[in-house]
Amino acid sequence: MGTESTFHHGTASTDAKPIIHMEGIKKHFGNVIALNGVTFDVTPGECHCLLGDNGAGKSTFIKTMSGVHKPTAGEIFFEGKPLSFDSPRDAMEAGIATVFQDLAMIPLMSVTRNFFMGREPTKGKWLTKRMDIDRANEITMEEMRKMGINLRAPDQAVGTLSGGERQTVAIARAVHFGAKVLILDEPTSALGVRQTSNVLSTIDRVRKQGVGVVFISHNVRHALAVGDRFTVLNRGQTLGTAVRGEIEASELQELMAGGQEMAQLEGSLGGTV
Ligand SMILES: Nc1ncnc2c1ncn2[C@@H]1O[C@H](COP(=O)(O)OP(=O)(O)OP(=O)(O)O)[C@@H](O)[C@H]1O
Ligand SMILES: [Mg+2]
């Protein structure tokens, strides 16, 4: 395929130590081999994209990373130490936050309430202890502003925000509550052009705060817009990890789609897919 020269196997040469390092991860569901030895890591402040076609194993892999699944084989190192997550809660407490497509938000509730989800700051002591709504509103407005979104008011219902803004609330929330690794499973797949670029610039901001971002996407252009490294999964296996600037969109696209089929389709449609 002519990709050997730019597409390296194993980990790219970055000096920073990974926050999380997954080594030779296998996951079997009965006879189904969803993952067959995947190695992947993410360092502070980088955006590592995980690309792959439907059924490649992307979601299974990040579920293993976030404590939903236990790997059948392989090792997980968190900040250099071997670790095994017994539940998503364990992973969350370690600082691994996942933003799923469906976001877990309550549309009729305010942005602030969705931001804190019961973790609001309090004021007063003992019997007079209560939620500090003003403080909660202030924090929410400020955190959203940092992400480039000026809310009309903190009591605006989440349901009145655009899909991209909602993604941003979920991302800002994860970062505010101390995420070290932020996993985004296809955050741009349901968004229009403008909202996509908003979410991509949110990812960029988060990265600059030192959070390691794992960005899952089908869309090579979206990945190339923010990614520092790119790992392609194909039928549960890593095809390799490429570094920004060393791989082109067409090469990534070909690896993802399984080369041949894509070339044929392009030929028959007489253009770029
Ligand atoms: N709980 C499960 N039980 C059995 N098989 C599973 C389970 N979860 C995933 N699989 C299988 O593992 C393989 C990988 O699925 P996975 O959802 O990880 O792919 P994906 O890359 O996220 O795909 P998509 O792009 O469609 O979201 C598929 O063959 C799928 O059917
Ligand atoms: Mg998936």
Task: Give residue-wise pLDDT tens across range 83-126.
Answer: 988 998 899 889 999 887 666 677 788 889 888 877 788 888 88
CATH architecture observed for domain 1-95+180-273: 3-Layer(aba) Sandwich (3.40)
- What's the confidence (pLDDT) of residue 233? 93
For the CA of 30, the nearest atom of ligand 1: 4
- What's the confidence (pLDDT) of residue 102? 61
pLDDT class of 193 with cuts at 50, 70, 90: confident
Q: Which pTM value belongs to this model?
A: 0.83
The DSSP element (H or E) to which 123 belongs, if any, is strand 122-123
* 55 CA → ligand 1 middle, Å: 5
Binding site membership of 29 for ligand 1 (Cβ less than 6 Å): yes
Binding site membership of 58 for ligand 1 (Cβ less than 6 Å): yes
| Residue of 29, 36, 215, 218 to test ligand 1 pocket, by largest number of atoms within 8 Å of CB | 29
> What's the average model confidence in pLDDT over 185-210?
86
Backbone angles phi, psi at 125, to 5 degrees: -130, 160
Distance, CA of 163 to CA of 178 (rounded, Å): 23
Q: Residue 49 pairs with which residues in a beta bridge?
A: 215, 230
> What's the average model confidence in pLDDT over 14-38?
93
- What's the confidence (pLDDT) of residue 273? 47
- Per-residue pLDDT reduced to its tens digit, 142-165: 988 888 888 888 888 888 888 888
Task: Reply yes or no on whether the pLDDT at 208 is more than 80.
Answer: yes
Among 245, 191, 256, 263, which Cα is nearest to 220's?
A: 256
Average pLDDT, the chain: 85
Binding site membership of 108 for ligand 1 (Cβ less than 6 Å): no
CA contacts within 13 A on the Cβ side of 183? 23
> What's the average model confidence in pLDDT over 36-61?
94
Q: Which two tokens stand for residue 201?
A: 């610039």
Binding site membership of 64 for ligand 1 (Cβ less than 6 Å): no
Ligand at shortest distance from the CA of 63: 1
Please name the residue ranges forming H helices in 69-219.
88-94, 111-116, 133-146, 163-176, 193-208
CB distance 135 to 104 below 8 Å: no
Spell out a b/e string for 29-64, using b for 16 or more CB atoms within 10 Å of the CB, else e: eeeebbbbebbbbbbebbbbbbbbbeebbbbbbbbb
The protein residue with its alpha carbon nearest to ligand 1, atom 24, reads: 54
Distance, CA of 225 to CA of 202 (rounded, Å): 12
> Is the pLDDT higher at 247 or at 268?
247
- What's the confidence (pLDDT) of residue 31? 94
Task: Reply yes or no on whether the pLDDT at 17 is more than 90.
Answer: yes
Distance, CA of 181 to CA of 71 (rounded, Å): 19
Domain ranges of the chain: 1-95+180-273, 107-178
Among 22, 6, 66, 14, which Cα is nearest to 238's?
A: 22
